[in-house]
Structure 1
Amino acid sequence: MERAMTRAVGPRPGFTTHGATGAWVALLAGWGVVAFFGLIWVAARIAAGLFGGNVGQFGTDFVLEVVEGRTAAAWPGTPTLAVVVVASLLITGALTVVVGAWGFVVGRLPDPVDPVAALADNPGLAALKPDAAERKALELRPYIKGPLMPCDVGLALGDLMHSGPTLYASWEDTIVAFMAPRSGKTTCLSIPYVLSAPGPVIATSNKADLWAATAALRAAEGAVWLFDPQRITYQPQSWWWDPLRGLATVEEAHRLAGHFVLTVDDGTKRDLWGPAAQDLLCALFLAAAYSGRTLRDVAKWLDAPAVPTPAELLEDAEFSLLASSLRGAQNGAVETRDGIYQTARTAAKALRDEAIVSWVTPSTLPVFDPRAFAAGTDALYLLSKSRSAASPLIAALTDTAMRAAERRAERAGGRLDPPMVVCLDEAANICRIADLPELYSHFGSRGIVPVTILQSYEQGVTVWGEAGMAALWGAATRKVIGAGVDSPRLARDLATLVGQHDVPVRSVSYADGRASEQISLRRQDIMEPAAIRALPPGTALLLATGGRPALISLLPWYRSRDADRIQACRDQLEGLIAEGAAR
């Protein structure tokens, strides 16, 4: 009767991959015997040196004398007890060294089912390693003088697990990250990226921790602009921005209106009345911009669907076709007109909140200039609670600053130098830019590095749809998937992208009292979906264009060499937050 058993070799592949166990045992046994008697001879020489006596040459005669118990002939004049004690110590020490060395070697052998080992050999990541990243930085930024600083090289993605070098995204890369809450989004990505940006930086967040940890340090590089209409940091307003400034075309006004309509929570209403509401807001914004009015006037026009003033202003500005479209919406069926205006009012609810509208209407405070921002090294922090009324203004200001940087890059010959870093944390909640996937396709070539951080793939689908999210995924040259991604779909897709490898499988058969062993190879996923979901905090899966996926260890700010400075900045500004909250 024959029985067979098959299993994956584990935990690590053996040295006898062809079943030559007997030969290895015989070889090790033979050399083990030689080593044993060699240690006894060495012990005898040591004992003879300590207590007197003689020891002949090591050879078969010495071995036979020891085996036959003729110790007087093996080490004449030397106490046998001394030889035994010294030999015991030597044999114990030798066994300790051998066992330790064996454990060290075996411990370094790769586990055939270990994804870290399977992904460690990845020639496609050579362009992300420090030397190549420095060469790329000099190529993209030829105006750098002197030795490269760490912030000049690129954005650090993490340390490659096992082999250890830090991998960098270059200044022509675009990044998208999927990380669950409390998995290191701010500590490992946002804070380090804001601090390492060599030029202007935009950072969005729904909490104060990013601003608290970095604002004082960024102040040494340039001005710090804090947009916080909901007083998340409890800091007073110190500037304002005019969304209508420079609004000169229907396309620009339509784009501004789109930021508002995209935040309508009711997807059915947005799809039904959204395009018409966007056209309405476009007309009202353009009428206000050309007549020197403000967003407060736009809010009043939304409450009076029949008022002819906006259409008349458009006619005066020679936008007759847009004026005709506006009159058509005003004079249409009452139910249709009310649906359009109500959707527009819902989209523009920020204009009903005095705490918010004061940030985007004229005041005696300094005014924010996106063009000057793109030319400097300032930092712009945009804070808002998730899905708040201020979200469209955050999206609009981010979009305006990025387009100002793009125009400056075009005037400079194609690239912005120093590059702009745009860190969009909570992008699906507080910074919805409708054509962000399209912007990703060319921002890298302009020296604008967007970093979009999402909690899941599905969260992106709710904003940009299936096609848009697929376009964003495809256009991102660096994709970081961190801990806590609970999307079964994304986990399955990632398992496919990570690929498969050959795993040794041992088959043992028993027949007629004999055992035979055979080793074969089996293809299996390097990382199963469950393993991707269970990535531990502080680690991430990196997908880089042109290379195989890799596992990396993220780099939290509190492990950097600037940790003390960051902590001091954090303590200082958190104290200001506490003081503001106490008022």
Structure 2
Amino acid sequence: MGRDRPRSDEVDDAAYAFLVTVANTIVAVAAFGCFMIWLAGQLSGLLSGNGWPDSGPKDCFGVAYRFLRDPLDPAAAWPAAAAPDLGPLWLLCAILLVFLALTGWAAFWLVRFALNWRRRREFRRLRLGFASGNEIRKMLSEKAVLKKAGSVRPSTKGKSGVKPTDVGFYLGRDIRSRQKLYSSVEDVFIILAPPRQGKDVHFCAPYTIDAPGACIVTSTRADAFTNTYAMRAKMGEVHVFDPNGLTRWPQQLRWSPIKGCEDPNVAALRAGTFVDASGFEVTGDAAFLVAAQTSILRCYLHAAAIGGRTMRDVMRWAFQPNNTEPLQLLRKGEAEGTAPMGWAGQYESLMVANTSMGGRIWPGLIQILACFSDPRVLDACSPPPEETFDMKRFLSGRNTLYILGKEQKTGGIAPVVTAMMEDLFDSARKEATKMPSSRLDPPLTVELNEAAHISPMPSLPAYMGDSGGFSIALHVYLQSLSQARARWGDHEAMIMWDNAAVRVIMGGAGNVEDLEDVSRLMGKVRGKDVLSPDEIRTLKFGSAVVVARSARPVEVQLTPWWKREDGDEIAKGKAETEKMITEIGKTPRGLGGSTPTAPAAAPAGDGAAGGANGIGNGDLTAKPQGPNGAAQQAPGADQGEQQVRVDGGTA
């Protein structure tokens, strides 16, 4: 049986060790005090102009003993040969007080440092288990990234002067070897960053600015736009999808969930995306209701597409369960061969089932479409046919699309953004298949900021597995692993974690299970964690741990955008953009009313999108763009005429 109390000899040993420590401390303090008294007297003589008194450090103990017995007569304390050269008593005491103050200050900071070191265990630079300098050179260095340039971006093959940011992204600097770390554009990222840990300033904003080609940014905050708009507007066209009005930007891009649903498969996938992003689960007793609601929405989207209707019509149908207009459109489509046989009958059966079930099906459908309850969102998703967006042109240069929306539990914009992102991914991958090596060149960068909140794509785990092969640099930002498990499920979250080539972990997490999982990922050395859960949780702001592919973990020092070489230029652009937004906010506007035109930015540089403005990619076209990347406004045009739309569909 185990012992509940220590043995008496163990207690005696501990007491003896404590007493010895106390005794040694007293002796050390006393010796140092004696030395300070002697040194103060010596310096008093020197400062008085008498020179250095004839006394050595070995006299300090006797000097201190005699001085403490009679502090008013320092000459009696020093050897006879040194006494005449001593300074006055007041000077000796003043010097001694200065010594005591400095010693107290030094002792305070020494104790504080020792306690912090013991508590935080910050000094771990000599610890084993981290990537060596050689590993970093082979896998994460500038040279390693440039070595793959010709394959990830075929147009750079054989060219000189290619920079690592042309084919990759800067991660930070290894705190041990001081090497700069880079990743390739084909590396999919997961960035775990709890709120207020600096993911935007250290990753999202710099990666948006540095994106070597087109860039799509999703966010629930306006600063994702204000931090980077001015810099990206100098490189190419800029488009903004912001129906919630986070930026109040006057020239808004619009997207139609209807476009592309002429294809029954697209209609079915898009309906499923809306249901999934709305938080519905096809399990238990509600499985039939959810399946029925998905089928109705599929029929609505397809009927609207073949009948030339918009999302306004779909919303009208959803609030009128007995409206036969979608049924008539489906029957007409079956007769003309534009609708699959049997869909009209399925929809009619669901109408009958809704009546027999006391109208239980349609209320859930209305809840699925709650994202369109905001008139601004419905307007942004109901553009006329002539408003289109050329995906091929967008991908041809350093153009930018900002997709912004508020984070809210009910009626949020997440289903719209999710369906939109699924459509954009599908279009980008199809464009990639038309290029050499089936890779986008220049590469596409996708910054999925707050992915679980604003764009929880059902296909995201699969996209993370193959986006690199299309030269789509996909960066997924999550607050924690538990957030991913809650949104995608345990299995899909595990696939996302496995498919990430680069995993970036920042401090501040509070979930013990997540911290332990990350700690286990980093491994052990001699039975001890390379980084314990507590050490991961307490990582300083401005630092992170990078676990890339098969390399051992690397602790990196991050660079916020304001410390970059172009930090002043970014800050100036941010201030100008915020001023523009403030001025726009002062201008009265209403839904459908006239709005001011966004001030023009600098002309696009060499990376600006080029090419013909046609329909060569099969499904997407674009309106003319101004120098700031927004759609040009015709004289007298209202808000609806100056907005731009992304039209989904198949190529």
Separation in structure 1 between the aligned mates of residue 312 and residue 198 of structure 2, nearest angstrom:
40
Tell me: CA distance 1:458–1:112, structure 2 relative to 1, closer, same or farther (3 Å). closer
Contact 2:260 2:266 (8 Å CA) reproduced: no
- Tell me the residue number matched to 1:580: 584
**Aligned residue identity for 2:143:** D
Runs of 4+ in 1 over 4 A off after TM superposition: 1-6, 265-271, 363-366
- Tell me the residue number matched to 1:198: 212
Separation in structure 1 between the aligned mates of residue 293 and residue 398 of structure 2, nearest angstrom:
37
Separation in structure 2 between the aligned mates of residue 215 and residue 532 of structure 1, nearest angstrom:
33
TM-score, with length taken from structure 1: 0.74
Contact 2:371 2:413 (8 Å CA) reproduced: yes
Deviations 1:417-455 (A, max 9, x none): 111010011111111211110111111101111111011
- Tell me the residue number matched to 1:219: 233
The alpha-carbon deviation at position 207 of structure 1 amounts to: 1.1
Matched, 1:348 2:369: yes
Matched, 1:538 2:542: yes
- Tell me the residue number matched to 1:566: 570
The alpha-carbon deviation at position 383 of structure 1 amounts to: 0.7
- Tell me the residue number matched to 1:121: 132
Query: Pairwise mapping of residues 18-57 of structure 1 onto structure 2 (< 5 A)?
Result: none
- Tell me the residue number matched to 2:318: 302
Tell me: CA distance 1:203–1:364, structure 2 relative to 1, closer, same or farther (3 Å). same
Query: Pairwise mapping of residues 72-221 of structure 1 onto structure 2 (< 5 A)?
Result: 114=124, 117-118=127-128, 119-121=130-132, 123-125=134-136, 126-144=138-156, 145-221=159-235
Contact 1:421 1:449 (8 Å CA) reproduced: yes
The alpha-carbon deviation at position 268 of structure 1 amounts to: 8.6
Deviations 1:154-192 (A, max 9, x none): 011221121111211212111111101111111011101
Contact 1:485 1:533 (8 Å CA) reproduced: yes
- What SS does the aligned partner of 1:368 have? coil
TM-score, with length taken from structure 2: 0.66
Matched, 1:383 2:383: no
Instruction: Please identify, of 251-260 and 434-443, the stretch whose mean Cα deviation from structure 2 is larger.
Output: 251-260
- What SS does the aligned partner of 1:241 have? strand
**Aligned residue identity for 1:180:** P
Separation in structure 1 between the aligned mates of residue 328 and residue 393 of structure 2, nearest angstrom:
34
Q: 1:277 aligns with which of 283, 293, 296?
A: 293
Separation in structure 2 between the aligned mates of residue 254 and residue 262 of structure 1, nearest angstrom:
12
Identity %: 29
Contact 2:241 2:403 (8 Å CA) reproduced: yes
**Aligned residue identity for 2:124:** D
The alpha-carbon deviation at position 302 of structure 1 amounts to: 0.7
Matched, 1:492 2:519: no
- Tell me the residue number matched to 2:430: 407
Separation in structure 1 between the aligned mates of residue 344 and residue 125 of structure 2, nearest angstrom:
62
- What SS does the aligned partner of 1:449 have? strand
The alpha-carbon deviation at position 112 of structure 1 amounts to: 12
Deviations 1:102-130 (A, max 9, x none): xxxxxxxxx99826642142654322111
- Tell me the residue number matched to 1:421: 445
Where does structure 1 lack aligned partners over 5 or more consecutive residues?
A: 7-110, 503-522
Q: 2:348 aligns with which of 327, 330, 334?
A: 327
- Tell me the residue number matched to 2:506: 482
Contact 1:269 1:343 (8 Å CA) reproduced: no
Tell me: CA distance 1:134–1:329, structure 2 relative to 1, closer, same or farther (3 Å). same
Contact 1:120 1:162 (8 Å CA) reproduced: no
| Aligned Cα root-mean-square deviation (Å) | 2.6
Tell me: CA distance 1:494–1:245, structure 2 relative to 1, closer, same or farther (3 Å). same
- Tell me the residue number matched to 1:247: 261
Contact 1:122 1:548 (8 Å CA) reproduced: no
Where does structure 2 lack aligned partners over 5 or more consecutive residues?
A: 1-7, 14-120, 588-651
- What SS does the aligned partner of 1:495 have? helix
Structure with higher strand content: 1
Contact 2:354 2:360 (8 Å CA) reproduced: no
Q: 1:289 aligns with which of 305, 311, 332?
A: 305
Instruction: Please identify, of 404-413 and 563-572, the stretch whose mean Cα deviation from structure 2 is larger.
Output: 404-413
The alpha-carbon deviation at position 350 of structure 1 amounts to: 2.9
- Tell me the residue number matched to 2:417: 394
Tell me: CA distance 1:574–1:337, structure 2 relative to 1, closer, same or farther (3 Å). farther
Separation in structure 1 between the aligned mates of residue 353 and residue 278 of structure 2, nearest angstrom:
23
